[in-house]
Structure 1
């Protein structure tokens, strides 16, 4: 066996990864989708060639050949265990939906995003939709949908994984030699006995240092998007020229980031949409914004994300004023996430016993939202993942666009995922027809909100000519 082979061994899930297993229900899914658009190519693809392509890439990451194993009586956290018998055909689907248009593809992708993953198999799926027509801005494309479970991977790690999947470097060989059969009963008994003491010690260590931020609002007004989910998932997207995004950033005052611009864009569109339905909330709305902690903390987990809660200042009509307010709220949220006291409080999950994590997940499933007047901390999700590497390809088809999609949850029925590749930036939003019967109109509002902000920034940057 080559020294460069990928060793696949049993591994206990970190507690913050296990949360995605314990919290998952049919109404609170724990996966995400990465959607890649490639040139259509000159020859049609077939299922056999796609499965050969996937088989040759299994050595790029352990998640492709490990499945979940729960411990007896759930006394300990789950384990990833090697699965040498994996069948690629169980994970890779070749499909041309309906007439093969982008509208058909969106429906198929939304259906895939709404189905819970089977964790008795390795936690990944690939769906290939070949020769999709009428794709805005592209015409015809081959679409590859990668579905991953959050317990095994986060968005930043996905960026690293796709560079290998669609890059030119060959995958290492797989080494299953020496993979142990778990002595779960012994391990779990020891973990069960020690876990409460470890958690209690961690709780005492962090309780005295805990702080409360003045700008972190515990309850926000509930909107139509903060109800239980009663309709199938829908997906839509709007693309922005990267040149316009960079121009708006250059014209913005202070140290404005692209993320600040996009939070402001969503804020304006969301406020306008609710106002059009005579549903303007009594107070400002907020967004949950995932933040990578890789440069801040060292966590021994697949997920290196923390949740920021950013005020969207939806009550401010002037787009530049709203941008400045959101920028300051985002700055404070980032600073709060990196504070030592916050990091120590975050570390509590690392010592939490499995039974406590399971109980917390069960308690969350009891919450209903249809009659709620407020929701905790945020009204929508806005996730911005890093730029995709150029010069990637699938079966000799070059990468031309990347989107991402998140399943909706009860209480969080409008979610945004922002990606960029080449000369464009894309905002993909998921919701359902009961909450938003006109996603195309919301897409127009997103585009209009961005253009309004860009125009206001450009006008502010132009020197005034005096008579």
Structure 2
């Protein structure tokens, strides 16, 4: 048994039917590189099953302490069943980008079963009419609870089910996993009692580590090296209230070379600065079109990994955060980039003065029962609608592979991100890089953003404006799909192609056959 940290447990306490707290990704794959030129669903099941030993999160489930008197524990699930966690659906014709966005949003809006290992993979086939993608592609939509991973440890989980070539070579490491028995109530309560006795000592240790950082911060502020002028509550926007149970999702990819060229226009600027400036410009245009743009700058919370070299494969979250103004009050894109860079430098200096790891450790001091009760009350009384937000949105950067990746022999052609929203923060922008592209994805409450295609268009416009200002040459982001209609697509007729057939239970799988999707040039049918 391994106990969750206070930070990990907070994502369990924040979970409600309207605020599922899972993160994930949307990988798109070209099956023409797989053996035979297609991928069957039973192949997907066996491939993932062979890689479960690559990440502990795959087979660990939560055990909660009665009345949340202490933080939950991870145990090796004695009832693990891979067929519960790997699902399969298909888009109706024509299988375009807008249909995929709607399906991803639907999948993301559904809470996970907290009594099972906290991950789900859904294979979505039928991506036959997405601009920029070869026909016959399929998507793998992943969901992993935020209590189990952060962005960096999620990369480790993704690496477990991806290869560097299409050979599907079995992993060299032997899988020696063993299930555990469920702990009894008396054992959990006893552990809770002894943990409570140690809590005062942990409080003193954390405060002692933070005092030198506080003194350093005060010294840097007095010298003028760090400014606290912008450390105030963020302006209220449509994205900062109580969220509903429904989501929207979309993604806009850009050429990484263009982003890197744009950062050269401002001394010492980073790729993250450029992305924040693009998001700021997109939010400015989106809110201005609705006559809702605040005079003050919107702010973004940017997570910072404090994961050490020896902790890359560790479970849970090891993150701190910075709050950075996005320059939404500035019309000129170059001035906005300079402003975002200056604010990011200042925010980083404040965080470094105190210590990002120390700030993360403060989450351990919150009593478990109080944290759970506070989270539930905050949601039930709709408190998010009554106060100014600490920040307006989240922009989180997850670095990806620079070389091609393969899943079940199929080459990954695109990678996007999904992330949770919650009361007072209804818009999040995961930024995923893969190969020579970097994509700004976004998940939002559907009532707050009923027109996600407009925000996607605003991000493209912001990119183009900053590119033109920084380099003097217009640029066009990578196209995923044309502008989408505001209405949902009508139900299509049953496709003529034969979709992947779900595998039967493993005890009879050897006697079954399955159908598969072949390249468009070949006749499709049973294999």
Q: Smaller-chain TM-score range?
A: 0.7 to 0.9
SS in 1 for 2:155: helix
TM-score, normalized by length of structure 2?
A: 0.78
State whether structure 2 residue 139 is matched by structure 1 residue 143: yes
SS in 2 for 1:145: strand
Q: Deviations 1:397-450 (Å, cap 9, x if unpaired)?
A: 111110001132222222211112122221111224432232222212111111
SS in 2 for 1:239: strand
Residues 423 and 204 of structure 1: CA distance in aligned 2, closer, same or farther (over 3 Å) = closer
Aligned pair partner of 2:10 in 10, 15, 19: 19
Residues 344 and 102 of structure 1: CA distance in aligned 2, closer, same or farther (over 3 Å) = closer
Residues 298 and 169 of structure 1: CA distance in aligned 2, closer, same or farther (over 3 Å) = closer
Q: Is the 8 A contact 1:38 1:401 kept in 2?
A: yes
Q: How far did residue 345 of structure 1 move?
A: 4.4
SS in 1 for 2:389: strand
Alignment of 1:297-312 (within 5 A): 302-312=316-326
Query: Partner of 1:321 in structure 2?
Result: 335
For these two proteins, the number of residue pairs brought into alignment is: 449
- Following the alignment from structure 1 to structure 2, what is the Cα–Cα distance between the partners of residues 285 and 219? 10
CA-based RMSD of the aligned residues comes to 2.7
Residues 216 and 254 of structure 1: CA distance in aligned 2, closer, same or farther (over 3 Å) = same
Query: Partner of 1:423 in structure 2?
Result: 436
Aligned pair partner of 1:132 in 127, 136, 158: 127
SS in 1 for 2:382: coil
Residues 171 and 145 of structure 1: CA distance in aligned 2, closer, same or farther (over 3 Å) = farther
- Following the alignment from structure 2 to structure 1, what is the Cα–Cα distance between the partners of residues 232 and 449? 26
Q: Is the 8 A contact 2:249 2:441 kept in 1?
A: yes
Residues 138 and 172 of structure 1: CA distance in aligned 2, closer, same or farther (over 3 Å) = same
- Following the alignment from structure 1 to structure 2, what is the Cα–Cα distance between the partners of residues 92 and 347? 35
State whether structure 2 residue 432 is matched by structure 1 residue 437: no
- Following the alignment from structure 2 to structure 1, what is the Cα–Cα distance between the partners of residues 170 and 274? 36
Residues 129 and 341 of structure 1: CA distance in aligned 2, closer, same or farther (over 3 Å) = closer
Query: Partner of 2:114 in structure 1?
Result: 119
Query: Partner of 1:385 in structure 2?
Result: 398
- Following the alignment from structure 2 to structure 1, what is the Cα–Cα distance between the partners of residues 367 and 243? 31
SS in 1 for 2:464: helix
TM-score, normalized by length of structure 1?
A: 0.88
Aligned pair partner of 1:101 in 96, 104, 125: 96
State whether structure 2 residue 29 is matched by structure 1 residue 38: yes
Q: Is the 8 A contact 2:269 2:341 kept in 1?
A: yes
Q: How far did residue 218 of structure 1 move?
A: 2.9
State whether structure 2 residue 344 is matched by structure 1 residue 353: no
Residues 361 and 235 of structure 1: CA distance in aligned 2, closer, same or farther (over 3 Å) = same
Q: Is the 8 A contact 1:418 1:427 kept in 2?
A: yes
Q: Is the 8 A contact 1:196 1:352 kept in 2?
A: no
Residues 284 and 18 of structure 1: CA distance in aligned 2, closer, same or farther (over 3 Å) = same
State whether structure 2 residue 155 is matched by structure 1 residue 155: no
- Following the alignment from structure 1 to structure 2, what is the Cα–Cα distance between the partners of residues 156 and 388? 12
- Following the alignment from structure 2 to structure 1, what is the Cα–Cα distance between the partners of residues 154 and 328? 32
Any gaps of 5 or more consecutive residues in structure 1? Answer: 1-9, 461-467
